[in-house]
Structures are given as structure tokens and as C-alpha cells.
Structure 1
């Protein structure tokens, strides 16, 4: 018998596509709406082949994604439902789709990267987001994936960031607005501007309408490497610095330093490696996808703190959330206080870093 961790890793090539198909064909939607159900009944209602569906459900049961009762009824465990129910804000269907439709197709590149190095394989001046934004369908799929990954965690991170005294938040590379919306809900007096590529604007406008944010949420088109940032007293980098190498991150952080007032600050939201780099699992896995899909990598809190200091933010704090994404706050000048924002636990840098 194989060790369980090796067995699950070995058959992961089956698990993710099956998870994707079950989501795509509304199997989880059915279970969320109807409760425990027989495979035949699910297949009849959804117009699916009953034998194929039963085999998929048995596989998902073995992977402990769903449960199967002795009567043959399948159900969604309470721990899984929020992430697989499209009506829940923690739903990750968009990200599952991205893994199958985009990331899986890039995996063969790893062999070439391993033998020759990424720089030798990729064409000079390659633009990592050109493919992700290649057409309207791809753009929407990618932004949906980023929303699914980011919106629910952003609520906690916005609270940890302590935005009560912030007047204008600039969300650099803010996509369709997951962090900006969370921040606006946290601080009713706040205004936010998402600064991103022009093709993102229609999706941000959809978000503004859906959440009835009016002129509290605006969009500024531009390239954050070549164009000036909009003015704001807090400049946020939500889940984007991991897309870029250190020198590019320094360029962006230095622009933020020049662009915010003396009392201003910068927020960095991202996954963080443990100092030992032995995990977490999601960070380690996504660090590999960064290699495939972007030019960046995931970092430790210490590495981000060093980047912030080199960019001109001598005082910083790291706040760990209850999830797998966390927030660092870099201050342009000494905040002059110990920070215990909203009870957030922290490792390195919970107090201003001198």
C-alpha cells in the first residue's frame, strides 16, 4: 500500500479534472440545493450519463470532497460546501477552471525550464499577462479566478490593514476589485481607485454596479510600470508582487513611496512562505505556478520586509490572517506606535521595524 500522501499526489492528475467537471456540470450546485441525492437522480435532473457520474462521485468520495451514505446518497460536507457552492462568497469554481484550462496546459514547460532555465526557454520580453488577457473570454475567466481566490480573504485583510483613517486607497493591479470592495465595506468613509490595464475596466464597472458603490469606487487605466500611480494616502498591492521578480517589485514599491504623502503607507497582500520554506502547501504549489504563468515567486515575510525597507519604507508590520493570505504594512515615516490592529496575529515585524 502506498503512503496516503503519495497516493493522493499520484492520483491528483485525476482529482482536479473531475472536480472541475463536477463543478462545470452543476453537480455541486445540485447537492447544495437539494441535499443528499442518489447519482441516478442527479444525472436525470442534470441530463448527465448516470454511469459516468457515479464513477466521478465515487472518486470524489475517495478524495474526501463529498460524502456517500450507506444508502448511496451523496452529499456535500459542511467543510466543503462554501468553496463549492456558487452562491457562497468563498466559492472557488473560477480558480478550479483556471487550474484546468490554463495552468495544466503550461505544465509541460517545466521540463524545458528544468533542463534549460526559464530565461532560455521563454522569448525575450515576454509579457506574462498577454496570454491571460488574450481575448474577452480569457480575460473574464482569469478575473473570475482571481476574484474567487481573493474576495473572501480580502475581507479579513482589509480589517487587519486598519483603514479607518485612510481617505483614498489606490489598489494597484486591483483587477475587478476584490480587495477594493472589501476595503470599502470595512471603512464606509473610504474612497478607492483601482489602477489596472484598460481591458480590465469593464469588469471593474460591473463590480461597482453589482455592489452599488457609485463614485466611491473608480477606475484609472494604465500600466503600473510605465504610468504614474493615482494619488492616495494608502497604496495597495493585492496579490500582484508575487507575479514579478525582486527588481520589478522594488520599482513598484519605490513608485508607491514617491506617490504617497509623508504620512502615507503601502499594503502588500500575498501568500507567505513560512520562514523554513516547508510550506504552506498552497503557497508552495502556487509558487510553482508563478514560475509557469508569471515572472515572479512567493516570498517570506522577511523577504518582503527587506524589499519594503530598500524601497524607502523603514518601518513595517506583518499581520497573519486566519487563512493563507496575509498583509504587510509599510510606513513611509515612523507610525510611532505598537500595532495590534483588530487582534491580528503576526510573526516578524508586528511592531514597527527599525
Structure 2
């Protein structure tokens, strides 16, 4: 608990940014440069060095090997937005687990807001959540785009695509592609900011809607990135059927998720996030076989699994060129 809070505070106060520029500075020099209290800073630095985030040489500190990408705001692998989300939005909800054990989630949450009503309660919360999703998704999305083989795709529909981590990666890799993020209206300005940042012009647009109530826009590639793990099997089946109807003949659906090993014995990160899904949403993480079954149930064929070098993997289903494919 303290190590995670120390990470967040050090990031927010510019400690990591300073060490990127001035590796090997002492606590005194860092404190003077950042205009912070030296005693408090030194205690933070000691925690972070014991935790393996920093290397300490006497009273001099540097980022440990391999750490920089995850604390450097200029690096696509920057993860402190996700840490901020865990502390601000997730950790306070873990107290509900005791109630879930006693009475079950449905009974315990009967009078609480729906998951995304809470996450999207105001613009600050929306921004924090979307930054967390960007940090988790954008870097690995470049690898997932390559695994998806989108050179023949023309219209990507990014369902619940947030501020566009997958769409942005796909558009940079595939010059023939255009993408539409389909998400709740609150997301629009955040997507527009990412589109402008990445100079994508009108190749990346936004369609406001609720995927429970509204039809999905049509395209030859529909993507669900970290979406199906938010929902139970029946809801996932409904969403995939809607994707099937919106998918052009010969097109495909991409499911991008953490995957359990087939015996559900790991990986650890998937097991941890599976518990988080129980607290934050109404979903769970699944095995590749379970996702392939959901795709077949919706009518998609030729299901394949392509694993990335990270925690987020790809399951592909295709809509047949003609006929129902069911």
C-alpha cells in the first residue's frame, strides 16, 4: 500500500521527471530543485529504492534499470495514469468484497450506481479513467495491430474505444484505414484531443452511443479492447451478436483481453485483475477457449488466438463472405 502511494506521489511531484534529467542527484539536490521538503522526500526515496524502483548509491538516487519507460510521461509505456486510477477509483471499492462474500455481488450492489456511471461521474473521473486505459493499452496496441493483419481493412469500428489507444496505433500502421470510436458522449473531447495530438485529421472520428441500446456502426473490422471483461457471458454474447450484425461479410472482430491459462492457474496479473473486475465492473477474465466459444455463439467463424509479448492478447473471429456463418 505504501509503496504504491509513494509511486503516485513521486510521479505527481516530478521526482521521476527530475531523475530522468539528473540521474544520480542526492535527496537534497532533488528537494531543492522541486521545492519540496527534504526529510519527506528522503523517506519516499528510501521506500522506492527498497521497492526496486530506484537504485541508491549512498545518498544519490537513479532510476533502476528498466523502470524509465513506465514513469516517463513521454514514453508510450507510461503507467502512472493507471496507478492513479487504482488509488483514486479502485482501492476504495475493495471494502465491498466482504459483502460480496456474505451475500453475493448482485445483492450487495443492488443500490449502487452501474459501473460506468461511477467511472464517468464527472469529467475529472472520465479523464483519469481514460488516461489509465491509454497507459495500459497504447503501447501493446502497436503489436496487436501487427498481429491482427489489417492491411486489407478499410473501416475500423472501435467499440468502447475510449480515447483511441488501439485506433491511433492502427491508423499509424495502416494508411488505408479509417476508424470510428463508438463510446459514450463524455468521451468525445478526450478522443478529439488524442486525434489532434497524433495529427490524424478526419481519419479518426467519433460516434456517440450506448452499445446496449444503439446499433453499432458498420465496418469490416470491429474491435473490443478491454470491453468484454467488464461484462458477464450473456452480455458479451449480446454485444458480439451486435458486432456480427454490424460486420460486413468477410470482415472480422478483434477481442483484445488478458487471458487466463486454460487451467486458470495464472498468470498472476490476470488473476489480480479478475478480482478487480468483480469489484469495479460486472465482468471477469476468461480463457482463450471461452472467448472462442463466445465468438462461435455469435456467428463468427475461423476463430484464432494470437498472443502478444505483453498482458493483452488477441482473439479473432471472421464473418463468412456469404450466408449466415452460423
Distance 1:318 1:288 in 2: 24
User: Could you say which residue in structure 2 is the equivalent of 1:207?
Assistant: 194
Q: 1:96 Cα deviation (Å)?
A: 0.6
How much does 1:34 deviate?
1.2
Q: What SS is found at the alignment partner of 2:131?
A: helix
Tell me by how many angstroms 1:77 deviates: 2.0
Structure 1 position 313, deviation (Å): 1.1
> Aligned pair count?
323
Alignment match of 1:92 (pick from 59, 74, 79): 79
Query: Are 1:26 and 2:14 matched, yes or no?
Result: yes
Match of 1:186 in 2: 173
Partner of 1:39: 27
Q: Could you say what the CA RMSD is over the residues aligned between the two structures, in angstroms?
A: 1.5
Contact 1:315 1:334 in 2 (8 A): no
| Residue of structure 1 in register with 2:238 after alignment | 251
Find the counterpart in structure 2 of residue 64 from structure 1: 52
Residues 229-268 of structure 1 mapped to structure 2, 5 A cutoff: 229-268=216-255
The aligned residue for residue 318 of structure 2 is 331
CA distance in structure 1 between the partners assigned to 2:321 and 2:220 by the alignment: 15
Aligned partner of 1:321 in structure 2 is 308
In structure 1, the residue matched to 2:2 is 14
Q: 1:125 to 1:135 in 2, by over 3 A?
A: closer
In structure 2, C-alpha distance between the alignment counterparts of 1:304 and 1:139, rounded to whole Å: 28
- State the alpha-carbon separation in 2 of the partners of residues 112 and 35 from structure 1: 47
Pairwise mapping of residues 120-199 of structure 1 onto structure 2 (< 5 A)? 120-123=107-110, 126-199=113-186
* SS of corresponding position for 2:213: coil
Gaps of 5+ in 1: 1-12, 336-353
Distance in structure 1 (CA, Å) of the matches to 2:265 and 2:55: 31
1:243/1:290 contact within 8 Å kept: yes
Secondary structure in 1 matching 2:152: coil
* Cα shift at 1:314: 2.7
1:185 alignment partner, SS class: helix
- 5+ residue gaps in structure 2? none
Alignment deviations for residues 115-174 of structure 1 (CA, whole Å, 9 cap, x no partner): 111011002684110111111111111111111111001111011100000010000000
Q: Give, in whole Å, the separation in 2 of the partners of 1:167 and 1:320.
A: 24
Aligned in 2, Cα 1:274/1:153: closer, same or farther, shift over 3 Å?
A: same
Q: Distance in 2 between matches of 1:212 and 1:301?
A: 35
The TM-score normalised by the length of structure 2 is: 0.96
- Structure 2 partner of 1:8: none
Contact 2:7 2:48 in 1 (8 A): yes
Runs of 4+, deviation exceeding 4 Å: none
TM-score (structure 1 length as normaliser): 0.89
